[in-house]
């Protein structure tokens, strides 16, 4: 559940064992780490697309960002099976000093993506250090409410974090066997 105004915190008093609440400063998970079972190559494309659409960046910047993320994944052996995912801090370092030669126009793409990523780190420093992905597989099978409190964040950061969480949940469910069939009431 995405909570923009801390409306759902009160559920802790009703069913404390069935509700997990994560305030902004304790959000779990590294947005660069894919959900269990999803291809890292597919995830890097989804994250670059999500980042650029939420932060108002155009397609050329998205292509540049994807190259940086892919270079980080490759250097860490992610495509070969390593689970050593880069953090947002690593992404910022990769944007500052891309592991490839920049074309003149790419300096603008780099500056725009870097400004957005650094803003995210200022707003959520603990999230920028996270190595593990969202703990989707740790959510027990019984009904459980997970609340991501995103109040106090910029509109763009709110959009990015909520979309990454929803993408991770969706793709985890698809990899795990798909959605349950819809049944009319």
Range of the domain at 68: 2-175
More confident of the two residues 21 and 103: 103
Of the candidates 180, 183, 168, which has an alpha carbon nearest to the alpha carbon of residue 42?
A: 168
Q: Tell me the pTM.
A: 0.84
Burial class (CB in 10 A: 0-12, 13-18, 19+), 119: middle
pLDDT score of 153: 81
Q: Is residue 184 part of a domain?
A: no
Q: Is residue 101 part of a domain?
A: yes
* Cα–Cα dist 150/32, whole Å: 18
Lowest mean pLDDT among 36-45, 66-75, 99-108, 173-182: 173-182
pLDDT score of 137: 65
Res. 182 pLDDT band, cuts 50 70 90 = very low
Report yes or no: 134 and 168 within 8 Å, Cβ to Cβ. Answer: yes
Chain centroid to Cα 173, Å, comes to: 16
Nearby residues of 168 by Cβ (< 8 Å), 6 or more positions away: 29, 34, 35, 133, 134, 136
Q: Is residue 21 part of a domain?
A: yes
Our count of domains for the chain comes to 1
Q: Is residue 153 part of a domain?
A: yes
Q: Is residue 182 part of a domain?
A: no
Report yes or no: 85 and 131 within 8 Å, Cβ to Cβ. Answer: yes
Percent of the chain with pLDDT over 90: 50
Which sign does the torsion angle of CA 158, 97, 129, 20 carry? positive
pLDDT at 61 over 70: yes
100 is written with which tokens? 């490839």
pLDDT, one tens digit per residue, over 47-58 is 999 999 999 999
Q: Is residue 113 part of a domain?
A: yes
Q: Is residue 183 part of a domain?
A: no
pLDDT at 3 over 70: no
Q: Is residue 72 part of a domain?
A: yes
pLDDT, one tens digit per residue, over 128-166 is 998 887 776 666 555 567 777 777 788 899 889 888 888
Beta bridge partners of 16: none
Beta bridge partners of 87: none
């Amino acid at each position: 559940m995405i909570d923009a105004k801390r409306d759902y915190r009160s559920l802790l008093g009703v069913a404390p064992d069935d509700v997990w609440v994560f305030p902004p400063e304790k959000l779990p998970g590294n947005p660069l780490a894919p959900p269990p079972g999803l291809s890292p190559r597919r995830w890097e494309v989804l994250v670059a697309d999500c980042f650029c659409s939420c932060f108002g960046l155009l397609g050329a910047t998205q292509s540049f960002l994807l190259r940086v993320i892919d270079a980080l994944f490759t250097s860490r052996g992610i495509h070969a099976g390593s689970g050593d995912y880069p953090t947002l801090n690593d992404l910022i370092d990769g944007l500052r000093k891309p592991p490839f030669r920049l074309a003149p126009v790419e300096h603008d793409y780099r500056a725009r993506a870097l400004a957005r990523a650094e803003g995210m780190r200022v707003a959520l420093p603990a999230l920028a250090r996270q190595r593990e992905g969202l703990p989707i597989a740790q959510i027990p099978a019984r009904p459980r409410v997970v609340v991501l409190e995103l109040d106090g964040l910029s509109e763009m950061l709110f959009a990015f974090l909520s979309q990454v969480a929803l993408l991770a949940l969706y793709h985890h469910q698809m990899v795990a066997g798909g959605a349950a069939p819809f049944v009319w009431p």
